[in-house]
Structure 1
Amino acid sequence: MRQSFRPAWWLPGPHAQTVWPYVFRPLRSVPLQRERLELPDGDFIDLDWSTQSRHPGLVLVIHGLEGSSQSAYVQRLLRQLERHGLQAVVMHFRGCSGEPNRLQRGYHAGDTADIDYVARQLLLRFPQRPLAAIGYSLGANALLKWLGETGRANPLRGGVAVSVPFELHAAADRLETGFSRIYQHSLLRSLRRTVTRKHALRGFPDPRAELAAARDMRGFDDRFTAPMHGFRDANDYYAQSSCRQWLPKIARKTLIVHAADDPFLNRNVIPTAHELPNNVELLLTEQGGHVGFASGRIPGLARDWLGAYAAHWLAHHLKG
């Protein structure tokens, strides 16, 4: 493990780093072209494609909880990939592209079937193009779990996972403490809005009473995420969906970028070196927050270290 990230001195602590990407969004959005991909179960997901393609490689981008192609961290990555001439395709989880999905089920942190389906569809279309993927937060957990589940049969050239909730039960507990409850409040507000809109549009039962009873992430997962996706309860969902148990089975070249001060997860849940196979590198920084990692000496002029580092790593491993 090594550290090459130097945090901006004027963004001290994990919360400043975490909030920075949302306050200082890129001024220019990367142009994207949307494609609707029909799924075997009758549902759909939307893919957003960048137009850049000087490099033969293709990068599958997997956002975090309630994210999308317009999330600040995704837009920053797309700009960095653009500089390397890499084309990207952002896979939206079901219901995250601006239109509710058709089925009552949605998505969750261990939802690897859709990632597998999208990746294999891309390779069927472009068999000569090397494919890599990058996932953030919830998407990072799903990506690492999928890499472990598929082992040597995985179709990727490599993968990057950023700010990973390695053990979901521990992440739920962490969001119940201190300032991290602010993030929980924001996520729950977005989830409630998403569920309410979807149920009204699709004619599903009124969820407002259940939503009112779900006062934290564990409560929401217990009442919605778990039963909608075949789990007994939140504990069963967390146990089956956490990626940490799958890390030793990853066979593809993989980079994990994580900050020890991540306010979504306590330090003692970060995997140790003996848990990781030789092909998995953990770049553990002391600072960086959750999907933050902003550097720079001049106040207000932060450098996107995370996007630049990830794009460079992906371009390097997609050569040939």
Structure 2
Amino acid sequence: MSLPRGKDFLPPWPLRSGHLQTMLSSSGVRRLMLPRAAQVVQDGAEPVLVNGGDGVRLTGAYTAQKAIPQSRGLAVLFHGWEGSVDSTYVLQTGSRLLADGWDIFRLNFRDHGDSHHLNEALFHSCRIDEVVYALVDIAQRYPTRPMALAGFSLGGNFALRAAMRAPALGLPLSYALAVCPIIDPREGLFSLEEAAPWFYQAYFMHKWRRSLQAKQAAFPHRDYFELSELKQNLRGLTASLVARHTDFGSLEAYLDGYSVAGRALESLHVPATILTARDDPVIPVDAFEKLDLPANVELDIAAYGGHCGFIRGWDMTSFTDEYIAARFNAIVAD
């Protein structure tokens, strides 16, 4: 079976800008222009409260397929930082896989979506244990086989780390796919501050501060941050998060805590694919080129696509829908 490759993505000239691809990927304009078929995963979706272990509760949404007599399997989707189960890219991918006969589970990370009130402690990127335990709970609730996982940006990073832990926990994960995942958080954080245009950091900081305000409103007895700390830049507020709300001794130790750079993925035994774009302005391609990967992990670097964009044309649909669906379907074909 011939699978789509990153080199196959060649958008029309105006969409060959990595910045335009990135800005459009999560824009409200894109959601308005999307065809109805790209959002059908929301129809009849069942809200679910998932067990993340140690009293942690996460939210999600489950949609059973009706396209074919028997489901191909269960597809679990992870959003990016400050995204949610209703992020445009999650809805698009979920709707495409649903049409191909996959049951869909979209998982919210802690403090994402409308879940700030569920857990008193703040979200941070090293909370991989609760995500893996949530996957175990999901697999037990919906024992459709095979189970495949796809994540975007920070969600891609979580997907790769979850896949590494899956065999030890008996999690029946057949495949994982990460789109533009964070590889080296140190390099990514510095790049967002120093190399990327200012509006990327402004965008993420606006969303993060809004999320922290929602958290404070949900737990008014807690003092999560001082006002002066909330006014800091990305590095400063992340350092405050580490000092106040984690057991890591430094910002660097925290960033290393969720890094999958270098040889970190050598212990990944679940078949996996990493798709990224050379023109991604948020996550430098250098980190991908330095990866030391086992034979079962495919690295695919496209020339275009920006950060989680891969938008094909003015209908705002994404090449990643076809890309992910083809690889998920190949699991069944094999």
Normalized against structure 2, the TM-score is what?
A: 0.86
C-alpha deviation, 1:48, in angstroms = 0.8
Structure 2: where are the runs of 5+ without partners? none
* Separation in structure 2 between the aligned mates of residue 43 and residue 151 of structure 1, nearest angstrom: 22
The yes-or-no answer on 1:73 pairing with 2:51 is: no
State whether structure 2 residue 327 is matched by structure 1 residue 313: yes
How many residue pairs get matched? 315
Structure 2 vs 1, CA of residues 40 and 147 (structure 1 numbering), >3 Å: closer, same or farther? closer
* Residue type of the alignment partner of 2:18: P
Where 1:34 maps in the other structure, the secondary structure is strand
Stretches of structure 1 that go unaligned for 5 or more consecutive residues are: none
The separation in 1 between residues aligned to 2:210 and 2:192, in whole angstroms, is 19
> Residue 278 of structure 2 aligns to which amino acid in structure 1?
A
Partner deviation per Cα, 1:247-275 (whole Å, 9 max, x = no partner): 111111101110111111223222347x1
The CA distance in 1 between the partners of 2:173 and 2:46, in whole Å, is: 23
8 Å contact from structure 1 (residues 104, 228) kept in 2: no
Q: Distance in 2 between matches of 1:205 and 1:84?
A: 47
* Cα distance in structure 1, aligned partners of 2:333 and 2:123: 32
5 Å-filtered alignment, 1:240-279, equals: 240-244=257-261, 245-272=263-290, 275-279=292-296
**Contact 2:132–2:165 at 8 Å: present in 1 too?**
no
1:187-227 deviation per Cα after TM superposition (whole angstroms, max 9, x unaligned): 111111111221232121162424334212x2221111564
Query: What CA distance in whole angstroms lies between the structure 2 residues aligned with 1:150 and 1:124?
Result: 14
SS at match of 1:270: helix
1:162-311 correspondence to structure 2 within 5 Å? 162-203=179-220, 204-205=222-223, 207-216=225-234, 218-225=235-242, 227-244=244-261, 245-272=263-290, 275-296=292-313, 300-311=314-325
1:31-70 equivalence runs, <5 A: 31=43, 32-53=45-66, 54=68, 55-70=71-86
1:303 & 1:268 partners in 2: Cα distance?
A: 27
Say which of 13, 18, 30 aligns to 1:14: 18
Give SS of 2:49's match: strand
The separation in 2 between residues aligned to 1:301 and 1:125, in whole angstroms, is 36
Deviations along 1:134-178, one digit per CA (max 9) or x if unpaired, are 011111112212323456765310000000110001110111135
SS of alignment partner, residue 3 of structure 1: helix
Identity of aligned residues (%): 25
Offset at residue 312 of structure 1 (A): 1.7
What is the CA deviation profile of residues 8-59 of structure 1, one whole-angstrom value per residue up to 9, with x for unaligned ones? Answer: 3221311111122323113533322211124432231111112325323001
- Counterpart of 1:50 in structure 2: which amino acid? T
The answer to whether the 8 A contact 1:131-1:318 is kept is no
- The 1:307/1:210 distance shift into structure 2, 3 A limit, reads farther
Distance 1:206 1:166, change over 3 A: closer
Distance in 1 of aligned mates of 2:172 and 2:64: 23
Q: Give the root-mean-square deviation of aligned CA atoms.
A: 2.2
Secondary structure in 2 matching 1:48? strand
Q: Which amino acid is 2:55 matched to?
A: G
Equivalent residue for 1:145, pick from 161, 167, 170:
161
